[in-house]
Amino acid sequence: MQLLWLAIALLSSLFMAELLIGLRSHSLSLLADAGHLFSDVIALGISLLATWLAQRPATEQATFGYHRVEILAALVNGLVLLTVAAVIAKEAVERFHSPEPVLGLPMLVVAGVALAVNSTNIALLHKASRDDLNIRGAFLHVLADTASSVGVILAALVVYFFNWTWVDAGFSLLIVCSVSFTALPLVRDSLEVLMEYAPRSVDPTRVEAALKSFEAVCQVEKLHIWTISSGQVALCAHLTVDAIGGGERDRLTKQLQTHLEQEFDIRESTLQLAHRNSTEVIELHPLLSGNLMTQLTRKNGDYIDKF
């Protein structure tokens, strides 16, 4: 959480600087990057809230806790990025039709500062982003910011030395592409978790084969694999096994769960074991019980024999 607080403080300061200088220099690429930074501040704030909620213990209603809030925050981050990209693209197309004079030197100075700040944020968030989809969303925002800063620097150099103001709008469109390519995978991954898809790191076919590799397991049915939150994969399955005693049954269940954890990193597994030759006894209503039906059949037979 401290990393997120520090990143928010740095980006908020940078946003104000880019906004003011962007308005003064009439630079669309700088204003676009400022808008991108504003979305990042909001996104990091959502990520911070999600991280805090995810640490809350489970309740009677929220039996899994609040880990899914991280996924929702990642989805919101991705959608915010796409919205910002659409706004920037619209403004860039308008600038091509109606170009405005741009001051290259202020653009260059602020973009250089932005590159330094974003590089610092990348170093802060990179390690934590590997295991947390929520932090990953924040990290991708910063990564897109860095690419935007590089684009603004190049645009500022061209405008300053050659006075090609259309380059400012052109680099704004490159920022749009960068933001979009960053946001789309994040939205896709978040939706896959919310739709309870099997995670990309786990192949259900391999999992089924691994369960069947145990000698006592005859059949695997109703296999479901899904992601609860980042790094937390769950599984449930119905297994048909040979007739074994209670002790062996518990031992087999433990072996299967250990194998799932070691081989596929699935730590939440619920396995229902049923004997292959087991038959369920269905209790009938007394009027349909076997004894009563037999007696009725015999009486009807005797009645028919008399005739």
Residues 181, 239 within the same domain: no
Using a cut of 0.85, tell me whether the model's pTM lies above it: no
Question: In terms of domains, do 250 and 160 share one?
Answer: no
Average pLDDT, the chain: 79
Instruction: Identify whether the C-beta of residue 205 lies closer than 8 Å to the C-beta of residue 186.
Output: no
Residue 50 sits in the same domain as residue 167: yes
Q: Tell which of 194, 218, 238 closes a domain.
A: 194
CATH number of the domain at 60, please. 1.20.1510.10
Question: Residue 61: how many CB atoms within 10 A of its CB?
Answer: 5
What string of DSSP letters covers 93-156? HHHHHS-----HHHHHHHHHHHHHHHHHHHHHHTTGGGT-HHHHHHHHHHHHHHHHHHHHHHHH
Same domain, 200 and 187: no
Q: Phi-psi bin for 265: left (phi > 0), alpha (psi -120 to 50), beta?
A: left
Tokens of 189: 């991954």
Whether residues 167 and 246 share a domain: the answer is: no
Q: Which residue, 194, 222, 256, sits at the end of a domain?
A: 194
Q: Are residues 43 and 151 in the same domain?
A: yes
* Residues 231, 180 within the same domain: no
Residue that finishes a domain, picked among 157, 174, 194: 194
**227-267 tens-digit pLDDT:** 887 778 999 999 998 877 778 888 999 999 999 999 999 98
The span from the CA of 40 to the CA of 239, in Å, is 47
The tokens for 158 are 């061209």
Do 71 and 101 fall into the same domain? yes
66 and 110 in a common domain:
yes
CATH code assigned at 222: 3.30.70.1350
Residue segments in the chain with a per-residue pLDDT below the cut of 50: 279-289, 292-293, 296, 303-307
39-68: per-residue pLDDT in tens? 778 777 777 777 777 677 777 777 777 777
Q: Which two tokens stand for residue 52?
A: 């805090």
Q: Which domain holds residue 187?
A: 2-194
Same domain, 157 and 41: yes
For residues 150 and 16, membership in a common domain is answered with yes
Taken as a whole, the chain contains a residue count of: 307
**Together in a domain, 140 and 259:** no
